[in-house]
Amino acid sequence: MFLAETAPANTIIGNVIVVTGAFIILVFLLRKFAWKQITAIFEARAKKITDDINAAEDAHKTADKLVTQRETELSHTREEASDIVKTATVTAAQTRQNILEETMTEVTKRKQHASDDIANERETALKDVKSDVASISVQIAEKLIGTSIDADGQSALINSYLAKLGDNNGN
């Protein structure tokens, strides 16, 4: 302000007119030669910013969709894993039950087979004992009687002796 007080009034007005004229010429020249490039740069910059914002929003939406999809897949995977564990548990229980049943059946068969073998062996042993007793009885009877007994007599004597032997064992 100090300068404006000391300068003559027409110099100040002249300076304002010159500066205003220079500014108008500058604006005119800028508009004529550089305005399109400047606005194109600003528009390109604005478009790039808008595109970047849109791309970021699209990426965000895609990421949200992927997160939702992954959570759904994870939930399904957990359910499948749970089903697999349940199925494995049921299968293991069924297998265990089948193995126990097969084992019990096998044990029962073996017991029955052993009982049959014992019965057969007992029967064979009894037949052998009866045969031995019959043979010994015939020898004793021959010595006591002094004569030989024919086959019919021998058979009757053996049957009689075995019947007595069976009655003594039953009592």
Same domain, 3 and 56: no
Same domain, 155 and 127: yes
Residue 2 lies in a domain: yes
Give per-residue pLDDT as tens, 78-97: 999 999 999 999 999 999 99
Shared domain for 78 and 156, answered yes or no, is: yes
Across 102-127, average pLDDT: 89
Sign of CA pseudo-dihedral 60, 62, 64, 70: negative
Asked if the structure places residue 159 within a domain, the reply is yes
4 contact partners, CB below 8 Å, separation of at least 6: 12
92 with 9, same domain: the answer is no
Domain span at 65: 49-170
Residue 1 in this model has a pLDDT that exceeds 50: no
Question: Tokens 């062996």 map to which residue?
Answer: 121
Is the same domain home to 117 and 148? yes
pLDDT above 70 covers what percent of the chain? Answer: 82
Number of domains in the chain: 2
Whole-angstrom distance, CA of residue 99 vs CA of residue 3: 115
d(CA 9, CA 6): 9
148: alpha, beta or left, given left = phi > 0 and alpha = psi -120 to 50? beta
Q: pLDDT tens across 20-63, in order?
A: 999 999 989 888 888 888 889 999 999 999 999 999 999 999 99
- Provide DSSP, 77-90: HHHHHHHHHHHHHH
Cβ contact 12:4 at 8 Å: yes
Tell me how long the chain is. Answer: 171
Q: Helices 151-170 and 35-145 sit at what angle, rounded to 10 degrees?
A: 120
For the chain, the farthest-separated pair of C-alpha atoms sits apart, in whole angstroms, at 189
For residue 161, the tally of other CB atoms under 10 A from its CB is: 17
> Residues 158, 134: contact at Cβ < 8 Å?
yes
User: Does 44 map to a domain?
Assistant: no
> Is residue 135 over pLDDT 80?
no
Residues 33 and 67 in one domain: no
Which whole number is the average pLDDT over 125-154?
72
Within 10 angstroms of residue 35's Cβ, the number of other Cβ atoms is 13
What is the per-residue pLDDT for 9?
66
